[in-house]
């Protein structure tokens, strides 16, 4: 093991401190910045929150090494004079280079495999008796209809808690993207095509459907309320809605 220079030791110490602080921040982000991430109202959203946390925790040591090194160099080597000659040539350090390459490859390949293993989760229906909701995007609103309940339609989405839902999504004009941040559901809404998304909302509450595809002037206002409620209240609500006119 080569002897470490004082500069290397300083960088290493600050790297360790900032890494510990950064990881502590990730673990306490809900307490420190409540509302930064939406409530996870489905197992899918919880799994996505975990993935986001895992990626951030793994990125913290890498980012801190780069930032601490850059900060150290900026602070210690700053000068107002223009340099008159080149610095001494630096030759490769085999140990540092192979460690850098090895750790980066391990992180990247490991996360790709992890991501690929989780991917089918997004397009697999949750097991159980599906509630089918047809979702139509248009400039600039969402319409929801319930084929299992006489095709009643509504501009707000109401779902019974704990029941698996199949969204069948389409658009009548441009491409939109059906997105419920709190449930971790997002799928493109394409003209003349049906895309599907699946979720099981597990937490009663009020959330928002957004459009996640720039679709024109009022794209940012293309939002609809989502209410997750008890099965009895859902049935009550659905019977109060009007059926679609053909």
The verdict on 215 binding Cu ion (CB under 5 A) reads yes
Report the residue number, 176 or 200, with the smaller CB distance to Cu ion. 176
The two three-digit tokens of residue 207, written as one number = 């959330």
Options 11, 126, 176, 210; binder of Cu ion; rule CB under 5 A: 176
Neighbours of 201 (CB within 10 A): 29
Stretch that binds Cu ion, among 7-15, 32-40, 57-65, 207-215 (CB under 5 A): 207-215
Report the residue number, 68 or 211, with the smaller CB distance to Cu ion. 211
**Closest distance between Cu ion and the C-beta of residue 140, in Å?**
6
Neighbours of 40 (CB within 10 A): 19
**Closest distance between Cu ion and the C-beta of residue 240, in Å?**
27
d(CA 28, CA 36): 12
Report the residue number, 141 or 151, with the smaller CB distance to Cu ion. 141
**Closest distance between Cu ion and the C-beta of residue 212, in Å?**
8
The verdict on 169 binding Cu ion (CB under 5 A) reads no
Q: Where are the alpha helices (DSSP H) in 119-201?
A: none
**Closest distance between Cu ion and the C-beta of residue 180, in Å?**
14
Residue listed under structure tokens 């419920």 = 180
The verdict on 165 binding Cu ion (CB under 5 A) reads no
Report the residue number, 215 or 226, with the smaller CB distance to Cu ion. 215
DSSP state of 243: B
**Closest distance between Cu ion and the C-beta of residue 138, in Å?**
8
* Buried b / exposed e along 124-143 (16+ C-beta atoms within 10 A): eebeeeebebbbbbbbbbbb
Number of chain positions touching Cu ion (CB under 5 A) = 4
Give the strands of the sheet with 131-138, arranged side by side.
152-154, 141-146, 131-138, 165-171, 195-199
Report the residue number, 135 or 215, with the smaller CB distance to Cu ion. 215
Options 152, 169, 211, 228; binder of Cu ion; rule CB under 5 A: 211
**Closest distance between Cu ion and the C-beta of residue 192, in Å?**
16
Residues 45-74 that bind Cu ion (CB under 5 A): none
d(CA 166, CA 131): 6
Q: Where are the alpha helices (DSSP H) in the chain?
A: 6-27, 29-32, 43-76, 94-118, 231-240
Contacting positions for Cu ion (CB under 5 A): 176, 211, 215, 222
């Amino acid at each position: 093991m080569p002897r470490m220079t004082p500069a290397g030791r300083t960088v290493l110490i600050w790297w360790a401190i900032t890494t510990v602080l950064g990881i502590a921040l990730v673990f306490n982000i809900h307490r420190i910045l409540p509302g930064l991430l939406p409530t996870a109202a489905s197992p899918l959203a919880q799994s996505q929150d975990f993935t986001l946390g895992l990626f951030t925790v793994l990125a913290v040591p890498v980012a801190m090494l780069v930032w601490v090194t850059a900060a150290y160099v900026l602070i210690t080597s700053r000068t107002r004079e223009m340099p008159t000659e080149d610095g001494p040539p630096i030759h490769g350090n085999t140990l540092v280079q192979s460690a850098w390459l090895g750790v980066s490859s391990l992180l990247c390949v490991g996360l790709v495999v992890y991501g690929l293993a989780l991917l089918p989760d997004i397009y697999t229906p949750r097991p159980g008796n599906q509630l089918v909701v047809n979702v139509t995007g248009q400039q600039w609103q969402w319409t929801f209809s319930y084929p299992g309940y006489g095709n009643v339609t509504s501009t707000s989405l109401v779902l019974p808690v704990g029941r698996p839902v199949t969204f069948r999504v389409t658009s009548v004009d441009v491409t939109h993207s059906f997105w419920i941040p709190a449930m971790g559901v997002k799928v493109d809404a394409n003209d003349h095509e049906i895309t599907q998304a699946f979720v099981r909302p597990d937490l009663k509450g009020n959330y928002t459907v957004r459009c996640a595809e720039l679709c024109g002037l009022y794209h940012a206002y293309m939002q609809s309320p989502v209410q997750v409620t008890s099965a009895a209240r859902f049935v009550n609500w659905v019977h109060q809605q009007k059926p679609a006119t053909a």
